[in-house]
Amino acid sequence: MPHASIQSARPALRRLPTRASRTVQGVLRRLLAWVFASQRLQLDHGNADEGLAREFAAQQQGERTLLLAFRHPSPRDPLVLADLFWTRVPEAARRLGLTLPRPIELRFLYDRGIPLWAGPLIGWLLQRCGGIAIHRGRLDRPALKQARDALAQGRHALVVAPEGATNNLSGEMAPLEPGVAQLAFWAAEDMDEADDPRPLHVIPVGIRYSWRRPDWAALEARLTALEQHLGLSPEDQGNRRERLLRIGAELIEALEQLERLRPEPDQPLTQRIEAYRLHGLRKAESHFGLRASGTLQERCRRIEQAAWDRIYRENLDQLPPLERSLADWEAREADQQLTRMRLVEHFTSVSGHYVSDQPDFDRFAEMVLLVEEAIGWIEASPWNGKPSLGPQRVELSLGEALAVQPRVADYRSNRRRAVQQLTNDLEQALTELMRARLE
């Protein structure tokens, strides 16, 4: 496995309180145009800016409270959404003659682990942009209560990613986690108990990235670089799908050898990838004594939390020398299992059908980037992909609002069924937005 980055136990993770600052948000808002220009990212707001202008105008007049659920294909999504909320929606409101009495104020959930890999500055910015840090691998009651209260009180719209994490694919969505629907029902019950007549709306927000112009020559060069890096002989330059499959097969074979896996002869690549995923999860779960249950995302989150519990420890400075040395040892082993789980996550989105179903430039390019990222992760060195695949665009879209209060009676009679139904309806709405942008 890749070498462990953690060499010793560390003090327990402290809670990161929300410290929203309009000053910080104003500075960031002015920087976003420069960021997008430097990335050559073109923004197409579709119906999202005007649709959200109407929603926020109603929200600020006390007519409704909002939960915004967005597709999460890329780490750039927060910047794209920040520009939408802070700049494009107010512009659309002025264009439509709508009144926004105050700047748009948001609360959003983010993974407590982000500042661990992105750095303390990012954590500082997330706090001041209205972020609520949440531990995804356990029941984080303080974070959930803060999000629930924000949603019920209604002054701040709550922004969440129901997929839980990025999958790096604009044309395929990860299964939704039920937490968004559960939060909506909790808030609706709180509003009912407070005799608050405002409707609570769940608003689906679609996000899709694509390349502005297909650059097949650059893609061919990236495939050739991957083949050379993996020691593969050049193949027919015209059959890109077969080349991509060979690259994927070579990569998974190396990982199978590392994990002592023996696939069946002629076993399809998709089955080999799935076997590797399950093996990696089982190995990490066995190390931490975890039960193998739930979705792949749920299992990854439990492994992450178990690793953190062993790396970030209470009262570390009070341990005697021997126990401190053992804690360091345990932290290194936990980080190795966490690294194994992260690699499984990298392969969560890799499949044989994604390109076959729609063999266009965008899907080829996304899959090449995923493979490059996985190799960079294994080698603990970011892959320097050249030449550039070209400038991109991001398209935003807004779905029909899902009203929560009409579902509360069903929730009170059968909570699990109601949560699942709202989750299914949200998934269908986001899927329709995704497919509408693909057609």
For the beta carbon of residue 251, count every other beta carbon within 10 angstroms: 20
Which amino acid does the sequence have at 49?
D
Residue 422 falls inside a structural domain: yes
User: Which residues are CB-neighbours of 99 under 8 A, at least 6 positions away?
Assistant: 57, 60, 61, 93
Q: How far apart are CA 380 and CA 346, in angstroms?
A: 14
pLDDT for residue 374: 86
Does residue 248 contact residue 370 with C-beta atoms inside 8 Å?
Answer: no
For residue 10, the 8-state DSSP code is: E
Residue 2 falls inside a structural domain: no
Are 192 and 268 in the same domain?
Answer: no
Residue 386 falls inside a structural domain: no
pLDDT for residue 79: 96
CA distances (Å), 338 to each of 11, 221, 311, 341, in order? 18, 33, 10, 5
User: Which residues are CB-neighbours of 355 under 8 A, at least 6 positions away?
Assistant: 241, 244, 363, 364, 367
Are 175 and 262 in the same domain?
Answer: no
Are 184 and 229 in the same domain?
Answer: no
Are 272 and 370 in the same domain?
Answer: yes
Are 181 and 292 in the same domain?
Answer: no
For 142-296, strand residue ranges (E) read 157-160, 200-211
Residue matched to tokens 């990298």: 346
pLDDT for residue 3: 44
pTM: 0.91
Residue matched to tokens 């329709």: 432
Could you check whether the bond before residue 387 is cis, i.e. omega within 30 degrees of 0?
A: yes
Are 55 and 180 in the same domain?
Answer: yes
Does residue 132 contact residue 107 with C-beta atoms inside 8 Å?
Answer: yes
For 176-288, strand residue ranges (E) read 200-211
Are 370 and 431 in the same domain?
Answer: no
Could you give the 3-state DSSP secondary structure of residue 178?
coil
pLDDT for residue 420: 97
Q: Which two tokens stand for residue 60?
A: 């600020």
Which amino acid does the sequence have at 345?
E
User: Which residues are CB-neighbours of 296 under 8 A, at least 6 positions away?
Assistant: 277, 281, 344, 348
Tell which of 335, 352, 378 closes a domain. 378
Are 102 and 120 in the same domain?
Answer: yes
- Residues shown for the chain: 439
pLDDT for residue 352: 64
What would the DSSP string read from start to end of 47-64?
THHHHHHHHHHHHHTTS-
Are 333 and 237 in the same domain?
Answer: yes
Are 192 and 310 in the same domain?
Answer: no
Q: Which two tokens stand for residue 95?
A: 């264009």
Parent domain of 332 = 216-378
pLDDT in tens, the chain (439 residues): 344 478 899 999 999 999 999 999 999 999 999 999 999 999 999 999 999 999 999 999 999 999 999 999 999 999 999 999 999 999 999 999 999 999 999 999 999 989 988 889 999 999 999 999 999 888 899 999 999 999 999 999 999 999 988 888 999 998 899 999 999 999 999 999 999 999 999 999 999 999 999 999 999 999 999 999 999 887 666 688 889 889 988 999 988 998 889 988 888 888 888 899 999 999 999 999 999 888 888 899 999 999 999 999 988 989 999 999 999 999 999 999 998 888 888 777 666 678 888 889 999 999 999 999 888 888 888 888 889 999 999 999 999 999 999 999 999 999 999 999 999 999 999 999 998 854 4
Residue 37 falls inside a structural domain: yes
Are 109 and 205 in the same domain?
Answer: yes
Contacts 24+ apart (CB under 8 A), 243-248: 244/355, 244/364, 244/367, 244/368, 244/371, 245/269, 245/352, 247/223, 247/371, 248/273, 248/350, 248/352, 248/371
Q: How far apart are CA 439 and CA 419, in angstroms?
A: 30
Using the CB atoms, write b or e for 77-105: b if 16+ within 10 Å.
Answer: bbbbbbbbbbbbbbebbeeeebebeeebb
Query: What stretches of 12-157 show up as alpha helix (H) in DSSP?
Result: 22-39, 48-60, 77-83, 89-96, 114-118, 120-128, 141-153
Q: How far apart are CA 42 and CA 367, in angstroms?
A: 21
Report the Cα 79 to chain-centroid distance in Å.
13
Instruction: Name the residue among 160, 202, 161 with its Cα closest to residue 185.
Output: 202
Residue 367 falls inside a structural domain: yes
Residue 113 falls inside a structural domain: yes
Which secondary-structure segment (H or E) carries 298?
Answer: helix 296-311
Q: Please give the tally of structural domains in the chain.
A: 2
Q: How far apart are CA 36 and CA 88, in angstroms?
A: 14
Residue 408 falls inside a structural domain: yes
**324 phi and psi angles, rounded to 5 deg:** -65, -40
User: Which residues are CB-neighbours of 250 under 8 A, at least 6 positions away?
Assistant: 230, 231, 232
